[in-house]
Amino acid sequence: MDNKSYSYFKRDISWLSFNYRVLLEAKDERLPIYERIKFLSIYSSNLEEFYKIRVSGYHSSLLESINREESVEEAMKTIVQINSEVTSQEKEYYAIFNNMILPELRRNSIVLYQTDKVEPFHRAYVEKYFNEEVFPYLQPMIIMKDDIHSFIQDGRIYQVVSLLKRRKKKEGEGLSYTYAIMKIPYTKIPRFIELPSYGGNYYIMFIDDVIKANMQSVFPGYEIVDCFSIKISRDADFSLEDEDQKDIAEKILRKVRKRKIGAVTRFQYDRDMPGYFLKHICEAYEIEEEELLPSGRYLNLADLANLPNPVGDSLRQQLPQPLRVPELESNNSVLRVLRRQDVLLHFPYQSFDYLLRFLLQAAFDPKVLEIKVTQYRVAENSAVINSLISAAKNGKKVTVFVELKARFDEENNYLSSELMQQAGVKIIYSLPGLKVHAKLAYIRKRSNDPDDPLKGYAYLGTGNFNEKTARIYSDKGLLTSNKEIIKDIDEVFRVLEGKPYMHDFKHLLVTQFNMIPEIYKMIDREIEQVEGGGIGQIILKMNSLEDKGMIDALYRASEAGVKIDLIIRGICCLIPNQPYSKNITVTRIVDAYLEHARVWYFLNGGEENIYLTSADWMERNLLRRIEVAFPIYNESLKRQIIDILKIQLEDNQSAVWVDENLNNVFKHNDMAPVRAQEAIYDYLKRSTGQEI
């Protein structure tokens, strides 16, 4: 089939389908109430970043009249489509919040106020709290048209107030409103205030309502007519693709600091705001119609992540303790174990501490000469960084490639690199035009063999060197001393260090070199199997699938009769259930852990090739990043991965099909219930000889 007749979902509309799937978790009555609230928070946080980064690109194209991907008309059409879908989703969001979450909290003796009308038994407390803790930080300003007015900061909640002067109205005189704006000082006070319990109930109040309940004392001499919340999201995207290496850290930090004053991409307001009021605000702050997003009484509900829980753990999801890895428990030295065998780690089912132990032991091992690591996103006060600092102080040569262009982690990465430099770690900053997204650590040890100077150990992962996210992100990592893999890893670091590389990659697939052609070869090989009368099968697990070249290859494979199962958490531009995709299924899993591992499976005539990788099939990953995919050669480890993929495809509790209309169709069926994340934990527990 001519690929001109192939169709694709729009990337950002597909992403909205994923975020809606996150929202659906808040409706799942099987989950503890605070787990459901967590998903409301995640939904809001995701949407905020979406408007800062993705929607900002469409607004930029309107201003510049050009865009690499879309015409002005198409950009406007997409903005309208996005805003329409988001408005619809947010209506459901507030219906879930008001009709499901609040009643369930009440059933657990928790009352979350939804009004500024304070109960008599709380009035004195709320007034005292306002006067002592809130009032000193309020800075109300009158909104003056055609005059200098206050700047609305990105992501902050403001209350806008319409006022009438308390004076006698002259006959025939119309109402003359005064308008004011006031930022909620959330850096000084919490978003939620716990009030004294009463009648066996716990009470919690939004700080928004605490202020509203005492608004009259802020504006003496005025009658308060209306008060509503507003919030602006600003363009937080910037590009450094064409920057050279010189002073790149300073350039990035300057651009990061400008995020707070970026162009408006979304103006959220309480949908109950009267038209006259909204019109005045829009004129005063030059808000365009395509930026308007009606919302609910309470904005910035990512803050629900911090909703107090006065009842305790019974209302939260209880995650199991990470499993032990027997081969690493039976020997104090991780490095000694790796001389005999590869070890595959499954986070968060197994502890991230093994990776920390690996790095720390390398820092103190007298045979270790050098450590090289890529850094994309690390935790604050990172144990990984502390291990590298210890290694440098112990006389090891330590090199860390720091990706300063890791969005929203630029400053944290810069600060951690400064700490490492002070300890003697060599820091190499971003490559011009590319992001380094590969997750690699290479530990070189002393070799007495001049023909084999690259002895050592390596770690290759699908996720970041981040002990905090490793508790909630589902990822995989390989610890190995395989000499051939290590030769290829050394080559990757030579590329990152700007040195000439010595040979072609024999085992690793690396973007900018051999990854794209090798993927096409593996897909074509499955097609050849079918055409030769055999069976072709592909299973791909990743966060996102967007690259049209890769999608076209999968469409062609489907047309040839290759069975393709996709497990795609987020963006999926491939459309299933079409004549050219009838052999393709798309599964999405949203559960307690964020599905983050990328796994590629090719049947290959029964030989079964498996690669793990940091790479999604996105244009940015394949064309504008350094990514690495690594093979699994050990048969028992390979079987583990295949078994886990099969468990995920059998999930009929947390998994959905993504259909041809981007609907999330739950896989609920008459089969025995399978919740993949629970089943994987049990599988790993059994396979490592630990009792269930």
Say if CB 648 and CB 671 are below 8 A apart: no
Q: Are residues 170 and 262 located together in one domain of the fold?
A: yes
Which domain CATH number covers 630? 3.30.870.10
Identify which has the larger pLDDT, 542 or 147: 542
Domain with 181, as residue range(s), is: 115-315
Is there a domain that residue 320 lies in?
A: no
The answer to whether the peptide bond before residue 322 is cis (omega within 30 degrees of 0) is no
Give the pLDDT score at 260.
Answer: 56
| Greatest alpha-carbon span in the chain | 102
- Give the Cα separation of 670 and 689 in Å (integer): 31
Give the pLDDT score at 148.
Answer: 60
Give the pLDDT score at 62.
Answer: 63
Q: Which of 280, 315, 350 is the last residue of a domain?
A: 315
Q: Which of 255, 287, 315 is the last residue of a domain?
A: 315
Give the pLDDT score at 505.
Answer: 94
Q: Are residues 341 and 273 located together in one domain of the fold?
A: no
Q: Are residues 535 and 553 located together in one domain of the fold?
A: yes
Q: Are residues 405 and 446 located together in one domain of the fold?
A: yes
Which domain CATH number covers 195? 3.30.1840.10
Is there a domain that residue 96 lies in?
A: no
Q: Are residues 295 and 372 located together in one domain of the fold?
A: no
- Give the Cα separation of 129 and 195 in Å (integer): 10
How many structural domains is the chain composed of? 3
Which region, left, alpha or beta, applies to residue 82 given φ > 0 means left and ψ of -120 to 50 means alpha? alpha
Is there a domain that residue 104 lies in?
A: no
Is there a domain that residue 7 lies in?
A: no
Is there a domain that residue 12 lies in?
A: no
- HSE (CB half, 13 Å, CA atoms) of 456? 26
Q: State pLDDT tens for residues 75-121.
A: 889 999 999 999 999 999 999 999 999 999 999 999 999 999 999 99
Q: Are residues 467 and 596 located together in one domain of the fold?
A: no
Q: Are residues 466 and 532 located together in one domain of the fold?
A: no
Q: Is pLDDT above 90 for 245? A: no
Say if CB 688 and CB 323 are below 8 A apart: yes
Contacts of 24 (CB under 8 A, 6+ apart): 590, 664
Give the pLDDT score at 290.
Answer: 87
Q: Are residues 367 and 256 located together in one domain of the fold?
A: no
Identify which has the larger pLDDT, 242 or 87: 87
Region 62-66: what's the mean pLDDT?
55
Report which secondary-structure segment, H or E, holds 665. strand 664-666
Q: Are residues 473 and 390 located together in one domain of the fold?
A: yes
Is there a domain that residue 10 lies in?
A: no
Q: Are residues 303 and 332 located together in one domain of the fold?
A: no
Q: Are residues 617 and 671 located together in one domain of the fold?
A: yes
* Neighbour count for residue 175 (Cβ, 10 Å): 9
Q: State pLDDT tens for residues 256-279.
A: 555 456 788 899 999 999 999 999
Residues tagged active-site: 437
Is there a domain that residue 32 lies in?
A: no
Question: Strand 192-198's sheet: what is its strand order?
Answer: 110-112, 201-206, 192-198
Identify which has the larger pLDDT, 433 or 476: 476
Q: Which of 505, 526, 544 is the last residue of a domain?
A: 505
For the entire predicted model, the pTM comes to 0.91
Region 138-162: what's the mean pLDDT?
84
Q: Is pLDDT above 80 for 492? A: yes
Q: How far is residue 623 from each of residues 433, 533, 552, 600, measured CA to CA in Å?
A: 10, 35, 17, 19
Q: Are residues 262 and 184 located together in one domain of the fold?
A: yes
